């Protein structure tokens, strides 16, 4: 059996400390061990999905219950890549072939999917207006007409301006949807085992 480094956190500080492994659940009383006998790899611990020959599963248990025996852990970045590829394929199928400025000579879409990147000292999130308008009408909460089809957008420019206004509109505490988005993303990073913080300082 392959073994890996433990990811310890401390719940009690006396008598050398009571340490627990975030990955396998093992506990140890005394000085923090330096052993590398954890049966759970970082990839398995941080997995947000599991990939088997028959498909993708939200948990290992779901995969096993479906008869899967050969599984690979899927990270958040990998899952995003899979989802991005699927979205790109769907957009490519729906977009007319003569849309100017949206396809390269090889027929691949460019500058369509939303991106997030650091530019200098700024976090820049970008999305084309066309992709934004398409994405919101695909939402399960977007209203539909009597035929069950998404209601049409008559003025895309105006709707985007209204969306920008809502993104910047704060509540009584001055918090707007963008603040909540960043908070949720940061907490998700911690839940997925971020290595950028010191978990020993977290109160039990």
Whether pTM exceeds 0.85? no
**Helix (H/G/I), strand (E/B), else coil: 164:** helix
Contact 193, 7 (CB under 8 A): yes
Q: What is the pLDDT of residue 45?
A: 83
77 phi and psi angles, rounded to 5 deg: -65, -40
Q: Distance between CA 138 and CA 136 in Å, rounded?
A: 5
Q: What is the pLDDT of residue 106?
A: 36
Q: Which residues of the chain fall below pLDDT 70? A: 1-2, 92-113, 201-204
- DSSP H helices in 35-176: 42-45, 60-65, 76-94, 129-137, 156-168
Q: Rg (Cα) of the chain, in Å, rounded?
A: 23
Work out the mean pLDDT of the chain and round it to a whole number.
80
Q: Distance between CA 18 and CA 34 in Å, rounded?
A: 14
Report the alpha-carbon angle 127-172-157, nearest 5.
30
**pLDDT tens digit string along 165-193?**
999 998 888 899 999 999 999 998 888 88
132 phi and psi angles, rounded to 5 deg: -60, -50
Q: Distance between CA 193 and CA 7 in Å, rounded?
A: 9
Cβ-proximal residues to 194 (8 Å cutoff; 6+ apart), any chain = none
């Amino acid at each position: 059996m392959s073994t890996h480094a433990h990811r310890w956190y401390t719940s009690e500080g006396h008598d050398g400390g009571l340490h627990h492994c975030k990955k396998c659940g093992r506990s140890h009383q005394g000085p923090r061990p330096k052993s590398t006998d954890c049966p759970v790899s970082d990839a398995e611990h941080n997995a947000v999905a599991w990939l088997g020959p028959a498909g993708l599963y939200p948990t290992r248990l779901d995969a096993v219950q479906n008869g899967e025996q050969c599984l690979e852990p899927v990270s958040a970045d990998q899952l995003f890549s899979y989802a991005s590829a699927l979205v790109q394929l769907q957009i490519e199928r729906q977009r007319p072939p003569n849309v100017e400025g949206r396809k390269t000579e090889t027929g691949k879409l460019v500058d369509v999917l939303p991106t997030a990147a650091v530019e200098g000292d700024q976090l820049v999130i970008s999305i084309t207006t066309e992709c934004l308008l398409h994405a919101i009408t695909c939402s399960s909460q977007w209203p539909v007409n009597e035929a069950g089809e998404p209601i049409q957008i008559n003025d895309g420019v105006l709707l985007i301006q209204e969306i920008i206004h809502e993104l910047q509109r704060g509540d009584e505490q001055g918090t707007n949807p963008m603040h909540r988005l960043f908070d949720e993303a940061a907490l998700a990073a911690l839940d997925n085992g971020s290595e950028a913080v010191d978990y020993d300082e977290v109160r039990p």
